[in-house]
Amino acid sequence: MLYLVIKALVSAVLIVAASEVATRYPGLGALIASVPLVSVLGMMWLWRAKPDAANMAAHAEATFWYVIPSLPMFLVIPALLRHGAGFWPALVVGCALTILLYSIMAWFGPRFGLPI
């Protein structure tokens, strides 16, 4: 149980740090947020739970492929905001697009050897 709390606290501190930096320095905050800290932490937690090289390799490769459908969201949201959309509607559209693209990836991915 203590390990679970430590994992949650470390992860939360990184998210809070990125958001706090972004309030003062948007570019630096974006840089911090774009660093794959969550993926690296996830790999560390996974390795501790199951130190299996083949499993880790499959996880890291799948992570690469599942990042791709999330990227258009980071273009759609600023485009909508710059054209007068409110933040929440722009975020909902960006997230909906990401969910759609994830669904497509999850449907097509296994046909090309990508594990779900």
The DSSP code sequence of 66-106 is HHGGGTTHHHHHHHHHHTT--HHHHHHHHHHHHHHHHHHHH
Closest CA to 30 of 100, 97, 78: 78
Q: 28-37: per-residue pLDDT in tens?
A: 888 887 778 7
Contact 47, 83 (CB under 8 A): no
Q: 46-103: per-residue pLDDT in tens?
A: 999 999 999 999 889 888 888 899 999 999 999 999 999 999 999 999 999 999 999 9
Q: What is the pLDDT of residue 31?
A: 80
Is 0.85 topped by the overall pTM?
A: no
Q: What is the DSSP letter of 113?
A: T
What is the enclosing helix (H) or strand (E) of 11?
helix 2-24
Round to whole Å and give the CA distance between 104 and 115. 14
Q: What is the pLDDT of residue 36?
A: 82
